[in-house]
């Protein structure tokens, strides 16, 4: 007996070739994507014999929900099981309460692989390597199941979950075309962001795609020496090649891209790194997303690979009076309260898979400690440049405008010795 095909991996024209009469195609697509039914038997305007034929030929559900976890900042994490019993995680990130009057934007962070092969030092997804790529249907079905379970329509997609998206390029692009299609979910291409560790050939290929998909690059080091310590992929695709690919993307798409930069105490937060990162961002007119590192634990309870920067009360007076460096021309964004993987203990491909504590407390700590200079990132809090909006349950959101200035302090050396022990 031939293996069943995943119906959610098919384009409309591919499904139409299998349906007679042809108008059945649109009926099926409405049931799958608009009404999001869980079985072919629920497609009640189709003849019973045709429903039975569909059930014999196609799989309707590529993922199965096992568990949902809700966070205090309204973020939700979903644990899904695949047909081979592999597990993946997906996160729903509503618009931050307090920034808007209602959560009218819902971002779904999807996974693209079971595990990850790239072994970034700060990420929990690659602990056991990569098992396999997800199919297009498994990527699409994450979004559909999140919508069904949360009863919220997805407005944005970020491909920042488990795995390296561009290492699963063909299935990823098929899934994104389906999610973008008007006969499916109709999510705008400019509301879809793909994150990558920096696979140069695939970045260039993505730039040539007709879809206006946004790009985010996990940089985490402004020189080859520093980036190689954190991200082994830099040995194959060094910064010169990566930035050339980013140039090509920006020139081709005419879109602003984003650099993600996690701050690790004593590793990538030096004055030199701040200057070089600012220069890269200015040259590419890129946005920089500064991320505080989240410690995460293995099953044995140790904090592997990297150590988060800690406030140092003994240094606060000194650093507050003598800022070390200033970035002026690059638009910078601070970590957001509802950032994927922070307040929900997730293994998604974001800094720190298993997280202790919420992003709300981290964001507030950065704001509170910024004026005292006892964090790795020190914001220049001027009323005309920064707004701090308080929402439900005292949640904070910091908005920095494009003309802002940011001061970068060298943090305390606490944790650096431990990080070096784990990496040498």
pLDDT tens digits along 42-90? 999 999 999 999 999 999 999 999 999 987 777 899 999 999 999 999 9
Does the predicted model carry a pTM greater than 0.85? no
pLDDT tens digits along 223-251? 999 999 999 999 999 999 999 999 999 99
Kindly give, in sequence order, each residue whose CB lies less than 8 Å from that of residue 332, ignoring residues fewer than 6 positions away.
287, 288, 290, 400, 404, 406
Task: Provide CATH code, domain 5-59.
Answer: 1.10.150.530
pLDDT at 22: 87
Residue 295 has pLDDT above 80, yes or no: no
pLDDT at 296: 60
For the chain, residues classed under CATH 1.10.150.530 are: 5-59
Superfamily of domain 64-311+330-356: Aldolase class I (3.20.20.70)
Give the HSE-up count for residue 226: Cα atoms under 13 Å, Cβ half-sphere: 21
Residue 105 has pLDDT above 80, yes or no: yes
Over residues 82-104, mean pLDDT: 80
pLDDT at 306: 41
For the chain, residues classed under CATH 3.20.20.70 are: 64-311+330-356
pLDDT at 221: 95
Both tokens of 19, joined, read: 């349906």
Over residues 212-225, mean pLDDT: 96
189 compared with 305, residue with greater pLDDT: 189
pLDDT tens digits along 323-364? 233 333 334 443 332 233 334 343 333 333 222 233 334 333
**Distance of alpha carbon 296 from alpha carbon 307, whole angstroms:** 9
Both tokens of 176, joined, read: 């994104």
Residue 407 has pLDDT above 80, yes or no: no
146 compared with 382, residue with greater pLDDT: 146
pLDDT at 204: 97
**Distance of alpha carbon 356 from alpha carbon 372, whole angstroms:** 24
pLDDT tens digits along 174-191? 999 999 999 999 999 999
Round to the nearest angstrom and report the end-to-end CA distance of the chain.
53
Over residues 208-233, mean pLDDT: 96
pLDDT at 20: 82
Residue 389 has pLDDT above 60, yes or no: no
Confidence of residue 393 (pLDDT cuts 50, 70, 90): very low
**Distance of alpha carbon 169 from alpha carbon 258, whole angstroms:** 20
Residue 104 has pLDDT above 60, yes or no: yes
pLDDT at 121: 87
**Distance of alpha carbon 28 from alpha carbon 54, whole angstroms:** 10
Q: What are phi and psi of 319, to 5 degrees?
A: -75, -25
pLDDT at 101: 52
pLDDT tens digits along 275-289? 999 999 999 999 999
**Distance of alpha carbon 64 from alpha carbon 401, whole angstroms:** 41
pLDDT tens digits along 308-328? 343 333 322 222 222 233 333
Residue 130 has pLDDT above 80, yes or no: yes
Contact between 356 and 292 under an 8 Å Cβ cutoff? The reply is no
Largest CA distance in the chain: 78
Confidence of residue 147 (pLDDT cuts 50, 70, 90): very high
Share of the chain above pLDDT 70, in %: 67
pLDDT at 41: 95
Cα–Cα distances in angstroms (integers) from residue 97 to residues 69, 103, 292, 319, in the given order: 19, 7, 21, 33
Measured over the CA atoms of residue 270, residue 271, residue 276 and residue 279, the dihedral's sign is positive
């Amino acid at each position: 007996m031939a293996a069943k095909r995943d119906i959610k991996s098919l384009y409309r024209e591919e499904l139409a070739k299998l349906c007679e009469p042809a108008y059945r195609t649109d009926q099926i697509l409405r049931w799958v994507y608009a009404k999001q039914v869980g079985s072919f038997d629920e497609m009640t305007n189709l003849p019973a014999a045709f429903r039975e034929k569909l059930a014999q030929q196609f799989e309707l559900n590529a993922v199965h929900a096992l568990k949902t976890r809700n966070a205090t900042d309204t973020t939700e994490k979903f644990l899904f099981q695949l047909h081979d019993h592999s597990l993946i995680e997906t996160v729903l990130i509503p618009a931050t309460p307090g920034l808007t009057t209602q959560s009218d934007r819902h971002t779904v962070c999807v996974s693209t692989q079971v595990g990850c092969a790239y072994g970034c030092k700060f990420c929990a997804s690659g602990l056991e390597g990569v098992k396999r790529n997800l199919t297009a249907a498994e990527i699409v079905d994450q979004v559909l199941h999140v919508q069904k379970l949360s009863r919220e329509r997805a407005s944005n997609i970020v491909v920042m979950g488990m795995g390296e998206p561009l290492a699963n390029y063909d299935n990823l692009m098929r899934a994104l075309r389906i999610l973008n299609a008007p006969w499916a979910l109709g999510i705008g291409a400019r509301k879809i962001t793909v994150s990558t560790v920096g696979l140069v050939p695939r970045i260039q290929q993505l730039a040539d795609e007709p879809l206006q998909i946004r790009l985010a690059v996990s940089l985490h080091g402004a020189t080859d020496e520093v980036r190689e310590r954190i991200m082994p992929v830099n040995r194959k695709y060094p910064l010169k090649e990566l930035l050339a690919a980013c140039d090509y993307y920006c020139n081709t798409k005419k879109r602003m891209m984003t650099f993600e930069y996690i701050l690790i105490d004593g590793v990538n937060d030096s004055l030199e790194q701040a200057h070089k990162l600012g220069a890269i961002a200015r040259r590419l007119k890129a946005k920089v997303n500064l991320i505080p590192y989240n410690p995460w634990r293995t099953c044995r309870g140790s904090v592997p690979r990297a150590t988060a920067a800690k406030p140092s009360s003994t240094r606060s007076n000194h650093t507050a009076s003598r800022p070390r460096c200033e970035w002026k021309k690059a638009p910078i964004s601070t970590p957001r309260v509802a950032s994927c993987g922070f307040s929900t203990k997730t293994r998604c491909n974001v800094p720190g898979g298993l997280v202790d504590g919420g992003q709300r407390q981290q964001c507030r700590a950065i704001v509170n400690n910024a004026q005292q200079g006892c964090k790795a990132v020190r914001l220049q809090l001027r009323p005309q440049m920064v707004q701090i909006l308080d929402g439900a349950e005292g949640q904070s959101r910091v908005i920095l405008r494009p003309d802002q200035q940011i001061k970068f302090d060298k943090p305390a050396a606490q944790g650096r010795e431990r990080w070096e022990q784990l990496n040498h």
